[in-house]
Chain A
C-alpha cells in the first residue's frame, strides 16, 4: 500500500510543472490519481443504467497502468502547452482515450469489450496523426487502423454466433453455463482461431503485423 502511495505521489508531483493556463489538466489528473488508490477494490459485478461493470483485481491493474501512462504522456509533451494552440485538444484526446480504455477494462460483456476495443483505435489514430513526428505516420496510422479492424471483424461475427448458442456473453456465463462444450469440435477450432486472431494482431506477434 505504501508503495502505491509513494509512486502516486511521486508521479503526481509532475502535474504541477504543467502550466496553469489549462486547469482541465489538474482536474483530469486528480481524477486519474484517484484510480491509483482503487487497485485493491473488488466490487465484483454491478449494474448501472447504461453498462454493467465487472470490477475485479485483474482489470484494476490495467486501469492503473493506463492512467499512469496517460499522465506521463501529458507530462512529457511539455512543448505542446507552450507553442501550440491545440494543447487543449491534445489533452482532451488523451482523456477520451483514457476513458474508453478504462471502460473497456471494466465492462462485463465480450461484446461491449469489443466495442470499446474498436472505439479506442480512433483517438489513438487522431493523436498519432495530429501530434506525431515523422511524415510516414499518416500512412502507417491508416494501415494500422484498417489492419486491426479487418482482423477483428471475425471476432464480432464470432461473438454473435456464441451469443446464439450460449444465450449470454458475460465473462462468467460460461462458468455457470455449458461454456464451449455446447459446440462441436470443428466449431471450437474456428472459434478459437478467429477469437485469438483479433488479439494476436493487436499484440504484434511475429507473423501478424510484421
Chain B
C-alpha cells in the first residue's frame, strides 16, 4: 500500500514535471505532436472514465482515475498557455494529495473486510460513519468539487484546453462529467445500501488513521484560501 501511494502520489508527477521542463526547449517542441498528444489525452480521459463506471474493484478504480487526471495534465502542458500550464501544476499537487488519501481509505477498507470489491464493502455508512465523511471529502477532491484546489485546476485546464481548440468544448466536459459519475458511483456503492451480511465486526477508526486522512484533506481544502502560494499570476 505504501508503494502504491508513493507511485501515484509522486512518481507520476515526476513524469509530468519532465514534460513541463521539456517545454522549456521552445514552442516548436510541441508544435508537431501537440495535436496528437492532446487527442490521446482526451481519449484517455473519456475512455478511462467510461471504463471506470464498470469496474468493481476499489484500487483499480482509484488507479484508473489517476490515469484520467494525468491525461488532463499533459493536455494542459501541451497547450502552451499560462493557464493550462498552471492548471496542470495545481492538478498535480491536488491529485497527489487526494489520490494518496484515497489509496489510504481503500487500504483501510481492505484491512477490515479483506477484500477490495464493491460487493463486499457495502453499507459502510452504518458501520464506520467517520470514514464515510473523510472518504467523501477525498472523493469530492477527486471529482473537482469546491473548495478544493482540484476545482481551480480543472477550471484552468478547461480554459487552456478550450482556448487551444474550440472543439474541446464538446469533449472535455464529457470527461469531467464522467469523473464525477464514477466517483459518485464508487461512493454510493460502498457507503449506501445494506451492510454485507457475512461480516459481523469492524474495528473502529483509530486516531492515527483518522489523522492520516485529515492530513490529506486539510491542504487540499485550505490551499484554496491562498492560491498565490502555488500560482504565478502574471
The chain A residues found within 8 Å of chain B, CB to CB, are 1-4, 6-7, 10-11, 13-14, 17, 39-40, 57-59, 61-62, 64-66, 68-70, 72-73, 75-78, 94, 97, 101, 104-105, 110, 113, 117, 120, 124, 127-128, 131-133, 137, 171-172, 174-175, 179-181, 185, 188-189, 191-193, 195-196, 198-207, 210
A203, B229: Cβ atoms under 8 Å? no
**Count of interface residues, chain B, beta-carbon cutoff 8 Å:** 69
Tell me, in angstroms, the Cα distance from A196 to B28 when the chains sit together: 13
17 contacts between A and B (CB under 8 A): A3-B223, A3-B226, A17-B208, A69-B6, A69-B96, A72-B5, A72-B216, A76-B5, A76-B104, A171-B21, A188-B29, A200-B74, A201-B15, A203-B70, A203-B73, A205-B41, A206-B67
Given contacts A57-B232, A192-B30, contact A127 B70 (CB under 8 A): no
Given contacts A124-B3, A180-B25, A210-B67, contact A66 B10 (CB under 8 A): yes
Q: Which residues of B contact A4 (CB under 8 A)?
A: 229
With beta carbons under 8 angstroms apart, the residue of B14, B24, B29, B230 that contacts A104 is B14
With beta carbons under 8 angstroms apart, the residue of B14, B33, B43, B212 that contacts A76 is B212
Q: Which residues of A contact B93 (CB under 8 A)?
A: 61-62, 64-65
Query: Within 8 Å of chain A (Cβ to Cβ): is B130?
Result: no
Q: Which residues of A contact B67 (CB under 8 A)?
A: 204-206, 210
> Which of A62, A97, A132 has the most C-beta atoms of chain B within 10 angstroms of its own C-beta?
A62
Given contacts A3-B225, A72-B216, A171-B24, contact A205 B74 (CB under 8 A): yes
The chain B residues found within 8 Å of chain A, CB to CB, are 1-7, 9-22, 24-26, 28-33, 37, 40-41, 43-44, 47-48, 66-67, 70-71, 73-74, 89, 92-93, 96-97, 100, 104, 107, 110, 207-209, 211-212, 214-216, 218-219, 222-223, 225-226, 229-230, 232
With beta carbons under 8 angstroms apart, the residue of A39, A171, A191, A202 that contacts B12 is A202
Chain B residue nearest to A73 in the complex (CB)? B2
B2, A127: Cβ atoms under 8 Å? yes
Q: Which residues of A contact B37 (CB under 8 A)?
A: 196, 200
Tell me, in angstroms, the Cα distance from A203 to B14 when the chains sit together: 8
Given contacts A68-B97, A110-B21, A192-B33, list 4 more A-B pairs with CB under 8 A: A65-B10, A69-B100, A199-B18, A203-B71
Q: Which residues of B contact A203 (CB under 8 A)?
A: 12, 15-16, 19, 70-71, 73-74
B214, A202: Cβ atoms under 8 Å? no
Chain A residue nearest to B43 in the complex (CB)? A206
